Structure 1
Amino acid sequence: MRGAVNATVVEAFDINDVANDVYEHNFGHRPYQGNIQTLSAADLDRYDADAWLLSPPCQPYTRQGLQKGSSDARAFSFLKILELIPQISRPPLILFVENVVGFEISDTHTKMLEILSENHFVTQEFILSPLQFGVPYSRPRYFCLAKRKPLSFQNPQFNNELLWAPGPLLGSDGCMVISEGEQSHGCCDKLLQACQPIKEFLELKNFRDEDLDSCIANVSETSDEVEEGNRSVSCPLNQFFVPSSLVERWGSAMDIVFPVSKRCCCFTKSYYRYVKGTGSLLATNKVGLL
């Protein structure tokens, strides 16, 4: 695994066909495709997994949604899996749960902690943003780490708390911000200062401006040949083209960023500028749309 974790994935689960296509392409194994609500305790026992990584649907909890929590049908599968834990002959040793900010105040979150506590798990919870790790991507997320006793955390003083800083993860007991309301502008400024500029994450760092201009000229001259899913123009930047359908649909939500930017909402390895005459976005090391 890229994270250098000494582990083997015994099974992955996703009901979406396209998501499973992507997973199979990247990892050479097609996930179990179906409603995981149909899984039984015996099914989970057969996998004999030491760790479960869970990322349930976020729609029931997102601040932009209806926030129906456990009453949302999309929350049922997650709760069903948790409710199977006491029925399993060999429960997992470790659980990792990820979701949007808002999950931590939901009734699903309350039920999750109750089930984990009743089954001898100890938890540490975090709201973390990539900004805290030097990555210019300001999108906080909820994370829960759970270990089944007798396993324990390196810093047990943070057990059963919701923390807004990565100190325990990094082996440090530095200043913890317990609630979102207590976070100050000064704290955010410090996070931004610790971030690397976006240019440090760009690919093709040695690509020259004249090479880029040549590519853009070639694309513009043959725009009739440039079709979504069929890039016939020979250019090393072809891999970074964004289909025009996505530009038309999401262009208004994209951010303007600069190489020196240390904060953005939608970060990828590269960012883009609009190529006139093609209806496409092209990765570049200049000002562009992200």
Structure 2
Amino acid sequence: MAECTTEEQWRILEFYSGIGGMRYSLMRAGIHGQVVEAFEINDRANDVYEHNFGHRPFQGNIQSLSAAELDKYAAHAWLLSPPCQPYTRQGLQKDSADARASSFIRILELIPQMQHPPIMLFVENVVGFEISDTHKRMIAIFAKTCFVTQEYILSPLQFTIPYSRPRYFCLAKRKPLCFKNPYLNFQLLHRFTPLAALKDSTMMAGCPPEEVEEECYLSCQPIRNFLEAGSLMVFEQDCHDKEVKRSGDFFEKFAVPHSLIERWGSAMDVVYPCSKRCCCFTKSYFRYVKGTGSLLATYENLKDEAGKSNEICFMKDLGLRYFTPGEVASFHSFPSDFSFPEHITIRQRYALLGNSLSIAVVAPLLEYLFTDLLDVIEAQNSAVGGHAT
């Protein structure tokens, strides 16, 4: 067998590709490979994906795929971020009985039927998936097909990003492959311990999630680092009055109306440019203010009076606004050259971002998943007569 380059080795299928968070994570992790196909049913998400990568994902029903069709891709790795609605605390929690879970279960059930199944899988979902019936079925299929797993619940806060968004992750490798840290096999961890071994970090596993989050909060960057230029307000003092000014009028469309503050002020999560944590942005952000994500106080000098933040009159003086779609994308660690097509509306942008993933978390996990696999890949390809690359 002729020697292959690393770029030719990795063949990857990206299921539920959304707006490209998983693909950007591959790029950030420095994993050289080919996404031989992406699958996504959302038309607007595919517009964004195509806009940034020049490739439009397959938009058919993936439940119609057969084991033989998946074998044709000769993919080494599957990356999956299936719908989270069946497992969210706010949803109906119908679990595997939810129709939105069926495509993921169907894809997993094809693995035992394949002649050349993937040797690695990566699954991302909401916290709560780990106690679901779907999770039990996934683990049973992995055991049947000789996969070893390591599972994690991690938040961007653990990666210096001031964004509280814990998510579940499962990394799976098919024997004879093994993880760099096999002593973590079949465990659910709340710290990125495998990365600690790779990066000489002193972080350990085993701490309660709340302690992990509180400790990591101290090392997070300030929210200011994720804001668009010219987005903060300043007070200019003349001899008579205080006047609020802000550069440009782009941000006016994101201002929170006083009527909303009067109605929902007590339920709003207000953060400042110097803050080191903001709440998770849901797909309903900008449509609703309660429980959908933090709001930014654009006049940060008033933070010294933050004890008054539950007083409606005080909140009206904070210059509250929604974070822009570009800023939400920044919290998700999308690169600076990521953009939306012009026809995607502001509300659609928030909805698509709310369903996306955190690149700062996923990239190092993928780096860990793909570690030390080159020799095994070559051995496997030789055993089956070599896959097309």
TM-score, normalised on structure 2? 0.58
Give, in whole Å, the separation in 1 of the partners of 2:214 and 2:43: 42
Please give the secondary structure, in 2, of the residue aligned with 1:83: helix
Give, in whole Å, the separation in 1 of the partners of 2:134 and 2:246: 54
Alignment equivalent of 1:86, drawn from 103, 112, 125: 112
Give, in whole Å, the separation in 2 of the partners of 1:139 and 1:120: 31
C-alpha displacement at 1:44, in angstroms?
Answer: 0.6
1:128 aligns with 2:172: no
C-alpha displacement at 1:242, in angstroms?
Answer: 4.8
Per the alignment, residue 275 of structure 1 pairs with none
C-alpha displacement at 1:202, in angstroms?
Answer: 2.6
Per the alignment, residue 45 of structure 2 pairs with 19
Give, in whole Å, the separation in 2 of the partners of 1:71 and 1:282: 39
Specify the code of the residue in structure 1 equivalent to 2:218. Answer: Q
Give, in whole Å, the separation in 1 of the partners of 2:98 and 2:133: 11
C-alpha displacement at 1:87, in angstroms?
Answer: 1.2
- Equivalences for 1:194-209 in 2 at 5 Å? 194-204=219-229
RMSD: 3.3
Give, in whole Å, the separation in 2 of the partners of 1:206 and 1:215: 7
- Equivalences for 1:89-128 in 2 at 5 Å? 89-128=115-154
- Equivalences for 1:140-179 in 2 at 5 Å? 140-171=166-197, 174-177=203-206
C-alpha displacement at 1:256, in angstroms?
Answer: 2.0
Q: Assess, with a 3 A threshold, how the Cα gap between structure 1 residues 85 and 260 changes in structure 2: closer, same or farther.
A: same
C-alpha displacement at 1:89, in angstroms?
Answer: 1.4
C-alpha displacement at 1:266, in angstroms?
Answer: 3.8
C-alpha displacement at 1:243, in angstroms?
Answer: 10
Q: Say how many residue pairs are matched.
A: 252
Q: Assess, with a 3 A threshold, how the Cα gap between structure 1 residues 121 and 141 changes in structure 2: closer, same or farther.
A: same
Q: Assess, with a 3 A threshold, how the Cα gap between structure 1 residues 145 and 215 changes in structure 2: closer, same or farther.
A: same
Give, in whole Å, the separation in 1 of the partners of 2:33 and 2:109: 25
1:263 aligns with 2:289: no
Per the alignment, residue 49 of structure 1 pairs with 75
Q: Assess, with a 3 A threshold, how the Cα gap between structure 1 residues 132 and 154 changes in structure 2: closer, same or farther.
A: same
1:77 aligns with 2:103: yes
Give, in whole Å, the separation in 2 of the partners of 1:65 and 1:148: 33
Per the alignment, residue 351 of structure 2 pairs with none
Relative contact order, CA 8 A, sep 6+: which one is greater? 2
C-alpha displacement at 1:283, in angstroms?
Answer: 11
C-alpha displacement at 1:145, in angstroms?
Answer: 0.5
Q: Assess, with a 3 A threshold, how the Cα gap between structure 1 residues 68 and 53 changes in structure 2: closer, same or farther.
A: same
Q: Deviations over 1:35-64 (max 9, x none)?
A: 110000111111111111101111111111
Please give the secondary structure, in 2, of the residue aligned with 1:9: strand
C-alpha displacement at 1:205, in angstroms?
Answer: 7.4
- Aligned-residue sequence identity (percent) comes to 59
C-alpha displacement at 1:124, in angstroms?
Answer: 0.3
Give, in whole Å, the separation in 2 of the partners of 1:133 and 1:121: 28
8 Å contact kept, 1:23–1:31:
yes
8 Å contact kept, 1:202–1:285:
no
Please give the secondary structure, in 1, of the residue aligned with 2:213: helix
Give, in whole Å, the separation in 2 of the partners of 1:38 and 1:243: 45
1:61 aligns with 2:87: yes
Q: Mean Cα displacement is larger for which, 94-103 or 200-209?
A: 200-209
Q: Deviations over 1:68-90 (max 9, x none)?
A: 11111111100100000011111
Q: Mean Cα displacement is larger for which, 68-77 or 1-10?
A: 1-10
Please give the secondary structure, in 2, of the residue aligned with 1:8: strand
Q: Assess, with a 3 A threshold, how the Cα gap between structure 1 residues 207 and 75 changes in structure 2: closer, same or farther.
A: closer
C-alpha displacement at 1:157, in angstroms?
Answer: 0.5
